[in-house]
Amino acid sequence: MVQQIGEVATRVGLSLRTIRHWDELGLVTPSARSTGGFRLYTEDDVERLRFVKTLKPLDLGLDQIRALMAVIDGARADLDAGRPVGDDARDRLALYRTAAESRIEALHARIHGLELLSRELRALSEPRTGDAED
């Protein structure tokens, strides 16, 4: 089943403008176009949009995302063809993996800090048992 850009934008939670921009950059190109020129997206295209969207929290620029996607596409093509992923691609993927893991650690630290703050605020704002109002 193919879908037009409006349906896909709603499903993925991206604006039409973002999807069009990513198409222009070659990040996520629709699989087909209708006779009227409308972009038509397959489920694989939708999944690619979702994946690229998940890269945003890594604070990567669009050029970096395009480079990462090229490495991923190449690695997948190698694996699908029964070839091992090349050393250069493995090294580049490892760099991106390290960046992702570092971002995860930073987010865990932020979450931990927010949990501590929340507990402290809850403790200060909840009435204590045994407190009597006069």
Q: What is the pLDDT of residue 112?
A: 97
Name residue 32's beta-bridge partners. 40
109-134: per-residue pLDDT in tens? 999 999 999 999 999 998 877 665 55
Asked whether the beta carbons of 10 and 19 are under 8 A apart, the reply is no
58-78: per-residue pLDDT in tens? 788 899 999 999 999 999 999
**Angle, to 10 degrees, between the axis of helix 5-12 and the axis of helix 16-25?**
110
Q: What is the pLDDT of residue 129?
A: 75
Q: How far apart are CA 131 and CA 119, in angstroms?
A: 20
**What tokens appear for 90 in the block?**
């493995």
DSSP three-state, residue 127: coil
Q: Tell me the percentage of the chain whose pLDDT exceeds 70.
A: 96
How many Cβ atoms from other residues are within 10 Å of residue 71's Cβ? 19
**Distances in whole angstroms, Cα of residue 110 to Cα of each of 2, 59, 96:** 40, 16, 21
Burial 99-108 (b: 16+ CB within 10 A, else e): eeeeeeeeee
DSSP three-state, residue 6: helix
Q: What is the pLDDT of residue 130?
A: 67
